[in-house]
Structure 1
Amino acid sequence: MQLVYAFDAYCGWSHGFSPTLHEVVSRHPELPVEVVSGGLFTGSRRVPIREFGYVQGANAQIAELTGVEFGAGYARLIADGSFVMDSEAAARGVAALRGVAPDRAAELSGALQRAFYVDGRSLSDPATYREVATAAGLDADAVTAAFDSPEAHKAAADDFRRCAELGVTGFPTLLAVSGDRAVPLARGHATADEVDRRLAALRTS
C-alpha cells in the first residue's frame, strides 16, 4: 500500500491540508508517498486572480478551520488582482523538486505552498524553486534547470492524467492505493486523526 496525495500548489485548501499531510507522513514512515499535481488553473481558468471573486472569503475560511497562514507577501502579490495562477507551471516546479528529492516530495509540496501563500512568490518564477531548493539543502541549479525542461512539461501532463485516472475531482485528495484499488482517506479537509481512523479501518477490512 502507498499514499497518493493529489494536490494543486495554487489551491488554498491544499495549503490548509499541508499540516495534516505532514503529520500523517510522520506517523506512517512505512508508507511510500506519491505526490501528484492537479491542473486546477489551466486552459480557460488561467486568468487574473480577480476573476475568482471567492478567493479571499475562501482563504479566511481555510485559515480559521486549519490554522494555516496567508502571509503579507501573498496579500501584496494578489492585491491588484492581476496575478495569474498557472497550475501547469506549478506542476513543472513540483516535478523538478520531486526529481531531485523523490523521498521528500510531500515535504517539498508544503514548502512550495508556503512560498506562495505566505511569502507571495510566483510559482511560475524559476527563482522561487531556487529558493525552495536552497532552503531544503537541495541542488538548486539542478532544480531550476529541470523546471523548464521537456521532462518537466511531460511530468506535468502525466500528473494531470494520473489524477484523472485515479478519479480525483477536487483538491486536495489523499488516497490509499494498493494495486488497482484507490480508497479516499481525505478530500478537502481532514485531521490526521481522521485519516488514521480511515487507514486503520481500511487495513482491517
Structure 2
Amino acid sequence: MIIAYLFDPLCGWCYGATPMLDRLAASGVAIDALPTGLFSGAGARPLDAGFAAHAWTSDQRIKQLSGQPFSQAYLDNVLNARGTLLDSATATLGICAAGFKDSQRRLPALKAIQHARYVDGRDIVTKRGVAEVLEDADMADAARLVAAPTEEFLVAHHDLLGCGRALFQRLHAEGTPALAVIRNGAPRLIDANALYGSFNSLVARIQAA
C-alpha cells in the first residue's frame, strides 16, 4: 500500500495537513508526495488585497482545525506584499529538485518551504528565495538545481508534474490536498477532511479504502 499525497506548496490547507502527514510517516506508512501545479501556469494569479483577505480568513480556519501557525510576518511580508503573484511554479520546482534522486526528500522540502512562507514570512515565489530556503534546510544540491536546472532534471520535473496532474484528474479530486490509497496500482480517494480530524479516524479510512 502506498499513500499518494497530492499538494500545492501555496495551498494553506496542504500546510494544515502537515501534522497528520507527519504522524502517518512516523507510523511507517509510505507517502508519495506528488505536486499538482494547481497554483502555477494558468492557475497563477496576482496576490491582490481581495485575495489576501480571503486567504487570511481561510488561514484562521485552518489554524483552528490543525493547530498550524500563521504568523504576523506571513501576513505582513507575504499576503500584504503588493506586486507579487500567487504562483507556485518555483516552489514546486524546488520540491522536485530536492526529490530528484530520492523521492522521500520531497515532503521535507515541502515542509521547509511551507514553514518559510507561513511562519517566517519569506519569499518562496522567486528562484533566489526558494534556493535560500533549500540551502537553510541543508539541501544545497536542490538549491543549485533551482538556480541552474539541468536538462535531465527538467525532464524529470515535467514528468513528475504530469504524474500528479494525471492522478488528480483520474481521482476527480476537487482541490488540494488530496489523499489516495493505492493498492495493486488502483487508487482510491480519501475524504480530505480526514486530515484535520482524529488520527485514528484517518487510519480507519485508509484501512477501509
TM-score surpassing 0.5?
A: yes
Q: Structure 2 length as normaliser, TM-score? A: 0.82
Task: Give secondary structure in 2 for the equivalent of 1:99.
Answer: coil
State whether structure 2 residue 145 is matched by structure 1 residue 146: yes
For 1:98 and 1:104, the matched residues in 2 are separated by 5
What residue is the counterpart of 2:158 in the other structure?
157
What residue is the counterpart of 1:37 in the other structure?
35
| Amino acid in structure 2 at the alignment position of 1:146 | L
For 1:134 and 1:160, the matched residues in 2 are separated by 23
Match of 1:198 among 193, 198, 205: 205
Task: Give secondary structure in 1 for the equivalent of 2:196.
Answer: coil
What residue is the counterpart of 2:117 in the other structure?
116
Unaligned runs of 5+ in 2: none
Task: Give secondary structure in 1 for the equivalent of 2:124.
Answer: coil
Task: Count residues with an aligned counterpart.
Answer: 198
What residue is the counterpart of 1:47 in the other structure?
45
Output one character per residue of 1:140-174: Cα deviation in whole Å (capped at 9) or x when no partner: 1x212212514444444333322332223310111
| Amino acid in structure 2 at the alignment position of 1:77 | V
Q: Structure 1 length as normaliser, TM-score? A: 0.83
Q: Which runs of 4+ in 1 moved over 6 A?
A: none
For 1:86 and 1:153, the matched residues in 2 are separated by 18
For 2:10 and 2:192, the matched residues in 1 are separated by 16
**Conserved? CA contact 2:5–2:177, under 8 Å:** yes
For 2:181 and 2:203, the matched residues in 1 are separated by 11
- Between the two proteins, what is the percent identity of the paired residues? 24
Alpha-carbon distance change, 120 to 178 in structure 1, aligned in 2, over 3 angstroms: same
For 1:90 and 1:129, the matched residues in 2 are separated by 6
**Conserved? CA contact 1:92–1:155, under 8 Å:** no
Unaligned runs of 5+ in 1: none
| Amino acid in structure 2 at the alignment position of 1:33 | I
**Conserved? CA contact 1:100–1:143, under 8 Å:** no
What residue is the counterpart of 1:184 in the other structure?
189
